[in-house]
Amino acid sequence: MTPPRLRLVIGDDHHLLAESLRAALAKKHDVCAVAYRAESILAAVTTHQPDVLLLDLSLPERNGLELLPELRLAAPATRIIIVTMHVDRVLAETTLKAGAMGFVPKDAGLTELGRAIASVMEGETFISTRVPNTTNRVSLRAAHAALALLTPRQQEIVRLIADGLTSIEIGKKLGLTISTVAFHRGNIRAKLGVDSAGGLMRYALLTQVDYQPDARSRRGRMRG
């Protein structure tokens, strides 16, 4: 007997990747919606109540970490799998604590994504083997400590980067020119020793995870 087709929603601001994923998954599942921004993802999940949501962390306006609690309230039965370019054990653990059930890198193949979907539908959590086994608390502690190296304006820009805003959007929000935003981003990367835009995004997301240095309560959790 053919198993019933699962109902999926894809939430990712990379349109080409999202549409390619839709085309590939539609062979076995019913893709109810593809959404590119945080609020439209929340609306799609609320409307369709899918079996599985594939969610990116880097979204315009609000990041996926911030969105997770609202998604869990809107669709308690929906299993959420994070599909991201930010492969980090701390982020993986934090998303699971916030309500996700799976964590898969964007460069994973469809076979691995299929295993993740099957696992979460069985009620199990799934973290890709590409994610380091050891929890790198050093990187989390360092991310928070490094904020002291940045000016208040630079810290504000880091927060907006974590929220998924582009340089153009950051400039509009803060009343800065694009060249000024680019200047700040370059200085931030230099101060942090970050050599790529992806590395800066990973750092920005890590700063959204609380760090508790007390060994009895050390864990990553969502702010607010």
List pLDDT tens digits, range 34-87: 999 999 999 999 999 999 999 998 887 777 888 898 999 999 999 999 999 888
CA pair distance 184, 161, nearest whole angstrom:
12
List of domains in the chain: 7-127 (3.40.50.2300), 137-222 (1.10.10.10)
Mean pLDDT for all residues in the chain: 85
CA pair distance 155, 132, nearest whole angstrom:
28
Nearest to 81 by CA among 128, 42, 38: 128
Cβ contacts of residue 139 below 8 Å, gap of 6+?
88, 90, 206
- Considering Cα of 81, then 35, then 65, then 195, what sign does the dihedral take? positive
Number of CB atoms found within 10 A of residue 81's CB: 23
Asked whether the beta carbons of 103 and 92 are under 8 A apart, the reply is yes
Specify the pTM. 0.72
Show the 3-state SS of 73-85. HHCCCCEEEEEEC
Q: In the predicted model, is pLDDT for residue 114 greater than 90? A: yes
Q: What percent of the chain has pLDDT over 70?
A: 88
Going through the chain in order, the beta strands assigned E by DSSP cover 7-11, 30-35, 52-55, 79-84, 102-105, 126-127, 209-210, 221-222
List pLDDT tens digits, range 157-209: 998 988 878 888 899 999 999 999 999 999 998 988 887 776 788 788 877 76
